[in-house]
Amino acid sequence: MKIGIVGCMGRVGQLLVKGIQSGKYPDLELSGGTIKPDENYPDQGYPIYKDPNELFENTDCVIDFTIPEATRKHIWLAAKHKTSLIIGTTGLTENDECEMKDAAKETSIIYAANMSVGVNLLCALIEQAASRLDEEFDIEIVETHHKHKIDAPSGTALAMGKSAAKGREVNHEEKAVYERYGRTGERKSGDIGYGVLRGGDVVGEHTMFFYGEGERIELTHKATDRSLFAKGALKAASWINGKEAGLYSMRDVLDL
C-alpha cells in the first residue's frame, strides 16, 4: 500500500517517514510527502511535492498531521482522487467533522484527535464509567502540553469530554465549561469542566476526574514520546486498506 505524508518534514511527519522506512510495516511503502511552497530541503530519497494534489493523485493513502487550514483542503482532495485519508490534525471543529462525513461518501477516512492506542482505550473506559456514574459525580478534565501547542483544550481532552457525554447520553456542548474566572457561582451539576496547562516540552498528559462525595476516580494517560502517535497512524493505515468508503475512528481500528 502506497503511503503519502503531508507535512513530511514536520515533527510527526518525520516520525511517520522513519516508521515506514524502518521495515516494521512491510505492507506499507512510502510514496512521497509534501512541504510548504516556500520550503526547500535536500534530497530525501523519496518524492517531495509542493502541491498536495500531486501526492493524492499518486498514492493509496495519505496521513495528515498538519493544521486545520490544510486538512480542510486535504479532505476534499482525498474525495476527488478516492484516496484513503488518516487524519491526526487537532483543532478541527464540528463543522470540519461534518465535511469529513460528506467526503467519506467518496473514500475511506479515519479521524482521531489522538492516534495512540492508550488514549483510545482511555476514552472507551471513560464512556463506560460515565454511563455508570450519575451527576452526583462531577466531571473535570485537566490536560498539559508543550508551550508550542496552538489549540486549547487539546483535541484529546475534547475527545475525553465527548466520551463522557456519550456515556451519560447528554449533549457535550451544552455541558462543557471551558473557562472560569471571577465570581462564577457554584458548579452546576452535570457540567464537564476543562483545565488547560501549557509549558516546557510536555508531549501530552490528560486526566479525567470523577469527583464524588468522599471519593474520587482518576483516569490518566501520559505520553512521553511522539512516536506513539506515528505508530497508531501507521496501524490505522494498514487497517484501512480495502475498507469501503466511510468515516472511521481509531476505536474502529482497535475494535473498542
Q: Annotated catalytic residue: which of 2, 80, 149, 166?
A: 149
Q: Annotated catalytic residue: which of 74, 81, 145, 206?
A: 145
CB 126 within 8 A of CB 208: yes
**Residue burial 201-236, b: 16+ Cβ < 10 Å; e: rest:** ebebbbbbbbeeeeeeeebebebeebebbbbbbbbb
Residue written as cell 457554584? 186
Contacts of 228 (CB under 8 A, 6+ apart): 115, 116, 117, 118
First-to-final CA distance of the chain? 25
Secondary structure of residue 50 in the 3-state scheme? coil
Nearest in space to 66 (alpha carbons), one of 107, 8, 2: 8
Q: Please indicate whether residue 146 is annotated as part of the active site.
A: no
CB 17 within 8 A of CB 33: yes
Contacts of 240 (CB under 8 A, 6+ apart): 61, 84, 86, 108, 110, 248, 253
Q: Please indicate whether residue 149 is annotated as part of the active site.
A: yes
| Residues annotated as part of the active site | 145, 149
